[in-house]
Amino acid sequence: MRTPLGGGTIVSAYLIDRIVVRLGVVFERLPFTPNQVTLMSAAVGVAAGILFIFDQWLAGAISVFASMVLDGLDGEVARRKNMKSKYGAFLDTMLDRVVDTTVVLGVAYSSAQIYGDTAWIIGFLAAVYACVLSSYTRKLVAIATGTEPTWLDEKPKFTDGRDVRLLIITLGALGNLFVDWSALASVAIVLALSLSKFVIRLFIYRDKLE
């Protein structure tokens, strides 16, 4: 299994990548393009958000995880079939934001039936910070410095990567099968994690960007 470069997360290194590599062997023989796999990932992810709206927590959690795997699989298929493209990277990034926002707001909508405006506020802020600002600032630093934002080491770590955020929400959705605050709590954790990383980046990359 490939070891993620600096900035890779423990979730991708020890969970998602293991599944993706095995599925890559299968999909290499199937007539799917990387962009088609990207669209599959987006469709399944949006379906997860809709399932959360209807309190289908188990099905929603499974769908989020499946979307995570497919999101990694499109790159694996592109490498195996030598079909990498700038448009593919663009499509993947844009649809990731759609999925992230839909999943978070799906949790917020369902939780609002119990917690009212509090759930909507937490959900909206999480959607903005986790799904937009965190990823957006990462891309900005990559463009400005010519490198991906990382810590000094190249070991997989627990950070605010998209796979980490979605796994937290997946676990929260599963927890909602037992307690009705679990999913909303997971979104709040994602909000805190992404907001803290957003602030940290402002200081870590200040010298590089000046």
Tell me, yes or no, whether 162 lies in a domain.
Answer: yes
Residue 130 lies inside a defined structural domain of this protein? yes
Q: What is the pLDDT of residues 28-57, one digit of tens each?
A: 999 999 999 999 999 999 999 999 999 999
According to the model, what pLDDT value does residue 185 have?
Answer: 96
Residue 1 in domain: no
- Predicted local confidence at residue 4, as pLDDT: 43
- Name the pTM for this structure: 0.85
Position 3 confidence tier, pLDDT thresholds 50, 70, 90: very low
Does residue 131 sit within a domain? yes
Domain count, the chain: 1
In this structure, is residue 3 part of a structural domain? Answer: no
Residue 2 falls inside a structural domain: no
Domain range spanning residue 172? 10-209
Interval 117-143: pLDDT, tens: 999 999 998 888 877 777 777 666 666
In angstroms, the CA 86 to CA 75 distance is: 12
Q: Which CATH number belongs to the domain containing residue 15 in this structure?
A: 1.20.120.1760
User: Apex CA 183: angle with CA 178 and CA 184, to 5°?
Assistant: 125
Would you say residue 27 lies in a domain?
yes
